[in-house]
Structure 1
Amino acid sequence: MPTATDQFFAALAHRGEEPLLRRNSGIIRFEIGSKGKVQRWFVGVDHGRLTVSKRHQKADCAVLADTDVFENIITGTDNAFAAMLRGALEADGDLELLQLFQRVFHGPVQSTHPAVTDHA
């Protein structure tokens, strides 16, 4: 059964283009796993066009995270930079690229509490 991480990278590969990253280019290597089992994905950003590969290539930014930490990030429960500051995620290289890439992660979980819209 595919993990949330597998599903994230598969969906990213099918996305093809991310308008929020049109001004950015680079390759991010994600090393995700735990207990000696690490999977690697290489995500290319070419002026908004996204590619995903498992084929080794030179990366501008490298990210290393435990599976649980990464899945919290991709589901919007956690933030990559907050996780990095806590030491739960390691990143090296072009951190600006990672910061910009956060735009493709889900946003924080929205409250189910109804908003009050009547200002009268």
Structure 2
Amino acid sequence: MTEATERFFESLPARAPKVLVSPVSGTLQIHLTQDTRTVHWLAHLRPGAIEVSRNRGPADAIWYTSEELFDRLVTGRAQAISSVLRNESSFSGDVVLFLLFRRFFPDPPGARDPREAARAQLGRLR
């Protein structure tokens, strides 16, 4: 597993209060595969908090992806929903947990909030 992925999971509890603002709760099991080995992460999500461990356990949803793709996700070089739509990863269970968890991933390098771009454009027109 890459250092970026390790740092990503370590950062989740501190970032959760800003990311997990909805009333959704549940457990997401993440399976990261590399060749014939699989690394497991278990994330218990609740409003304003997340607990992450390297355990396996009962989960409301399971996400299967490669370590290489996950590394691209945590560095903003790939998008979670696009990876599922392209069959690069798969998901089963409560889709709301997947949609909530993906909010932890960074935006692509150079991405801007469209509202900021519109405000900048409006400022130039005045």
Q: Tell me the TM-score normalized by structure 2.
A: 0.80
- Runs (4+) off by over 6 Å: none
Provide the residue aligned with 2:124 in structure 1. Answer: 118
Q: Any conservation in 2 of the 1:21–1:45 contact (CA below 8 Å)?
A: no
How far 1:16 sits from its partner (Å)? 5.2
- Deviations 1:29-76 (CA, angstroms, capped at 9, x unpaired): 111121012111101112221110112221111111111111111222
Verify: 1:54 aligned to 2:54, yes or no.
Answer: yes
Provide the residue aligned with 1:93 in structure 2. Answer: 93
- The amino acid of 1:91's aligned partner reads F
Among the aligned pairs, what percent are the same residue?
26
Provide the residue aligned with 1:79 in structure 2. Answer: 79
Provide the residue aligned with 1:25 in structure 2. Answer: 25
Distance change >3 Å, CA 93–CA 12, structure 1 → 2? same
Structure with the higher fraction of residues in helix conformation: 2
Provide the residue aligned with 2:104 in structure 1. Answer: 104
Q: Tell me the TM-score normalized by structure 1.
A: 0.83
Count residues in correspondence: 118
Provide the residue aligned with 2:7 in structure 1. Answer: 7
The CA RMSD measured in Å over matched residues stands at 2.3
Gaps of 5+ in 1: none
